[in-house]
Amino acid sequence: MASKRKTSGTTESALKREKKVKTLQEKVELLDMLQRVKSSSAVARHYGINESTVRYIKKNEKAIREAVAAATPAGAKTLHVVRDVNLSRMEAATFLWVQDCYKKRIPVDSVMIRGKAKSLYDNLKSREGGVSQSIDFLASKGWFDKFCHRYGLRNVRVAGEAASANQEEAREFPATFKEIIEEKGYEPEQAFNADETDLFWKKMPQRTFISKEDK
C-alpha cells in the first residue's frame, strides 16, 4: 500500500509540473522563446519543466501551430497580447554578452549587466521601433532578478570560486615558463613574479555572474 501511495504522489507532482505549460498558446510562446535563445535547458528552467518536455513540444511544433491557426477567429488581428520583441532580443543578447565576459575572465556585476541591457535595448528600439516606441525600459532590479532566473545566472566570488584563475593551467605554467627561459636565454634576474596586484583593485567587481552550466 505504501508503494502505491508513493507512486500516486509522484504522479501528482508530475501533473503539477505539466500545468505550467498546458494551453496551446503557452506552447506557442515556449516555441517562440526556443527560437530566440536556441537553448532547451534555458527554456526548461524558465517554465519550470523538464528539458525532455521542451523537446517533445518542439517535436510537435507543426501540429501545435496548425491547431492554433485553426482555432483563431477569422477576424482576429492577433492570438494574444502583443509582446515587446525587442525585449526578448535584448535579453538573449545580454546573456551572450555575460557568457563572453566569463570566457574572457572579465567580472561583471549587476550594475554593469543592467547598464549593458539598457544600452542594447535603446539601440534595438532606435533601429527596430515597433511596440518598443511606447515602452521605457529602465533595467530595474526587478527585471534583473527575473532575467537571472530565466537564464540561470548565479553570482560567485571572483577569487576562490568558479570565476577564479584556471588551476590546471597554473599547474602547467612552471614547466612552460622554464622552457621559455631556456629558449630565450634569460637570466634569473630578468624574471619577476607578479602573483597578484592591488593597483586597480577598486576598479573591478569582487563578484561576477556566470551561467549555471559554467564550472
pLDDT at 22: 65
Q: Is the dihedral of CA 86, 91, 96, 100 positive or negative?
A: positive
Output b/e per residue, 30-56; b: 16+ Cβ within 10 A.
bbebbeebebbebbbbbbebeeebbee
Grid cell, residue 53, equals 518536455
pLDDT at 8: 46
pLDDT at 15: 40
CA distance 49 to 44: 5
Closest CA to 214 of 127, 99, 97, 134: 99
Per-residue pLDDT of the chain (215 residues; tens, 9 = 90+): 444 444 444 444 444 444 455 677 788 888 988 888 888 888 888 888 889 889 988 988 888 887 777 655 544 444 444 457 788 889 889 999 998 888 888 888 899 999 999 999 999 888 876 555 556 788 999 999 999 988 888 887 765 544 455 677 777 778 888 888 888 888 877 777 766 555 555 555 667 776 655 55
pTM (predicted TM-score): 0.45
Domain spans in the chain, listed from the N-terminal domain onward = 1-81, 84-215
The long-range contacts involving 155-160, CB below 8 angstroms and separated by at least 24 positions, are 155/207, 155/208, 155/209, 156/207, 156/208, 156/209, 156/210, 157/206, 157/207, 158/107, 158/204, 158/205, 158/206, 158/207, 158/208, 159/206
CA distance 163 to 159: 7
CA distance 210 to 51: 20
Residue identified by cell 571572483 is 158
